[in-house]
Amino acid sequence: MSEIRFPLPDVGEGLTEAEIVQWRVAPGDRISLDQVFVEIETAKSLVELPSAFEGVVSELLVEEGNTVDVGTPILVIQTDAAGLASDAPAAPAAAPVVDSVVPAGSAEPAAESLPIYGKVPAAAAAEESGAVLVGHGSSGPAATRRRRHVTPDGAHGHLAPPAVTPPPAPVNPAPASTAGAAASAAVAAPSRPAPRLPVIAKPPIRKLAKDLGVDLSRVAPTGPIGDITRDDVIREASQASVFRNIQTPERPEAREERIPVKGVRKAIANAMVQSAFQAPHVSVFVDVDASRTMEYLKRLKASPDYAGVRISPLLIMAKAMIWAVRRNPTVNAQWTDTEIVVKNYVNLGIAAATPRGLIVPNVKEAQAMTMVELATALEQLTLTAREGKTQPAEMQNGTITITNIGVFGMDTGTPILNPGEVAIVALGTIKQKPWVVDGEVRPRFVTTIGASFDHRVVDGDVASRFLADVASIIEEPALLLE
């Protein structure tokens, strides 16, 4: 047996420290390769760490709630040296401390999956790439390999289905008289309740229900053929009230409460101070008749192409911003003190309020997406953020941001720029108000759009034209077809 002291890794974002949020293992548990064994909170998000080793957990070195520096040992694993010797290269300096063996270097993770650890020597991998994956050393190009299954004789097969063992036959079959008595008893017993009707729901709806923890058998369907719709699932999950106070709590007995400034909250504070005092903000606002947008959304919801996809005003707002960026490219830029870098792609950030604080993940290459693709990406981004599973890479390299304060019933606001960007747009609530149409006052769906800009990059005329372009799409979404 060899002892591995697993250090807190740098998850690839220049991490210096992290808080141990929750251990997924306990002393005495057996841990397998790629098994998530701990959740840590970095300065940006909640991250699940997979294990690069197999063995038995002998000790947890850090208690939950404590913050430790990168490189500090957090876990001790007892592993079988003989089982690892065939795959083990010499230990690199940044690898966990092991008595006699270490695991092979890791490969880049595939999207939405845990890391795959290949058999590339860590020293050679470090020369090929500077990227660091959960602290297990750098690696070269990702190697695709299929999951191996071990057959009973010890051989390794590829994607081999597990053998199905038929149930054993009864040892002492009941005699005919006993069987007859059992049948009579079954007839005399109370009848079982009728089985429930099958749940009718499309695969995307079932996935949404799984993500939100909703039991579909408890959902009342409202679809045209008795099927469960997206709105049915969201209503059951009470998503509309995630960030609203359901009830007024009792006043605490303590006169004061002290909350440590760390993790996401500390990162938010630093970013907002940096942005507010380094970038000279200028804000503009416009009221918009969004009635045609609301009609357009109804048509999209009724379209088979959007079945199972969440449709909301945020989708049209996102498309409007992408369109307006193409007409006013300097709002999609970055200030570097020596030059202005105009981005010809759009990584669209969405400010998301989560139980752990405000984060801004972004949709990569949003300018190349169709409406359906963008709607799906926004939905996945929102769900991942609410679950606290947004990864650091999903919050990096944003180019422009939307903050949808309308979901909280707010009309407008003066948003602070996301650091590294020069424009942010706030979408207010959409509600019916009196509006003058052709000289007559009529009830229309009206919203207020606000935007803040970095005046070092964006002048007032560009800011005004950009926001006017966004407003024109909200007023008439058919312009997107041009």
| Helices of type H across 238-278 | 263-278
Give the C-alpha separation, 39 to 23, whole Å. Answer: 6
- Respond yes or no: is residue 136 known to be catalytic: no
Helix/strand/coil (H, E, C) string of 186-213?
Answer: HHHCCCCCCCCCCCCCCHHHHHHHHHHC
First to last CA, the chain: 68
**Residue 264 CB coordination number (10 Å):** 21
CA distances to 75, 175, 185, 190, 245 from 178, in Å: 59, 5, 11, 20, 62
317-to-84, 95, 278, 438 alpha-carbon distances in Å: 53, 46, 28, 26
Dihedral sign, CA of 80, 81, 85, 90? positive
What is the number of alpha carbons within 13 Å of residue 149 lying toward its C-beta?
9
| Burial class for 305, CB neighbours closer than 10 Å (0-12, 13-18, 19+) | exposed
Catalytic: which of 136, 149, 281, 455? 455
Identity at 122, one-letter amino acid code: A
The answer to whether 2 touches 100, Cβ cutoff 8 Å, is: yes
For residue 97, give Cα distances in angstroms to 52, 76, 101. 13, 10, 9
CA separation for the pair 174, 176 (Å, rounded):
7
Return the SS3 of 253.
coil
Single-letter code of the amino acid located at 243: F
In which region does residue 66 sit, left (phi positive, over 0), alpha (psi from -120 to 50) or beta (all else)? beta
Active-site residue numbers? 455
